Amino acid sequence: MTHDLEVSCRCGKLRGVARGVSPSLVNRAVCYCDDCQLFAFYLGDTDEVLDKFGGSEICQMSPTHLEITDGAENLACVRLRPKGLYRWYAGCCNTPLANTLTSAVPFVGLIRPGIKGVSEASVGPVRMRIHGRHAKGGAQAAGAHPKAPLSAAFGILLKLLRRRFAGEHKRHPLFDPESGRAIVKPRVLEAKELAEVEQARERWLHTG
């Protein structure tokens, strides 16, 4: 049985759907990496996005599930570094929505709270907690793998190859199928901006 999950920013201007998802089609993970934390700090949205150890919950799936239905003009994209992930959010209210790689990779990671209705029934249990070495309090406190287990990486690679052969990267709603360009030009943070975001994270790491 599959589910259609609502995707929406906090103010409701940007809406979409993750169609036809199921526990076998989604890899539900919590990522504690510094980069995901910095994205939350960039948006000024840490309370709702990060757990107390700094983890972001991400539902990884084929991009073919995702459709933006309303308010696409509010879609914004940032790259923390020139070669960083494409990090998508709703510019109207700074709600984080998704991570992607380039148009060549049939992958999208939808971030809570942008995706609604996440449950064991709809997308399965949290399958992995990764990059715990960046967690506040460390990997052990967060109950996370210090890096990413090789078996997980291998499984994901196989899935990506299978989707790529099926041409699913050509049906990525966040990239133009012809040019391969992101549908919104990503803004790459300037060194000064990145340093400010890093300082905000540092302060948080050393409080409470």
- Where along the sequence are the contacts to Zn ion (CB under 5 A)? 9, 11, 13, 31, 33, 36, 90, 92-93
Question: Do the beta carbons of residue 42 and residue 80 sit within 8 Å?
Answer: yes
Q: Which is nearer to Zn ion, 20 or 72 (CB)?
A: 72
For 166-203, the DSSP string reads TTGGGG-TTB-TTT--BSSPPEEPPHHHHHHHHHHHHH
Q: Which is nearer to Zn ion, 137 or 177 (CB)?
A: 137
Question: Do the beta carbons of residue 176 and residue 169 sit within 8 Å?
Answer: no
Q: Least distance from C-beta 8 to Zn ion, angstroms?
A: 8
Q: Which is nearer to Zn ion, 170 or 204 (CB)?
A: 204
Q: Which is nearer to Zn ion, 25 or 80 (CB)?
A: 80
Q: Least distance from C-beta 175 to Zn ion, angstroms?
A: 21
CA 167 – CA 79 distance, rounded (Å)? 25
Q: Least distance from C-beta 139 to Zn ion, angstroms?
A: 14
Sequence-distant (≥ 6) Cβ neighbours of residue 45 within 8 angstroms = 94, 95, 96
Q: Least distance from C-beta 170 to Zn ion, angstroms?
A: 26
Q: Least distance from C-beta 134 to Zn ion, angstroms?
A: 8
Q: Can you name the residues that pair with 56 across neighbouring β-strands?
A: 31, 50
Q: Least distance from C-beta 2 to Zn ion, angstroms?
A: 27
Q: What does DSSP say about strands 56-61 and 108-111: parallel, antiparallel, or unpaired?
A: antiparallel
Q: Where is 131: in which H helix or E strand?
A: none
Q: Which is nearer to Zn ion, 170 or 198 (CB)?
A: 198
CA 139 – CA 134 distance, rounded (Å)? 7
Q: Which is nearer to Zn ion, 25 or 31 (CB)?
A: 31
The residue written with tokens 């990779």 in the block is 105
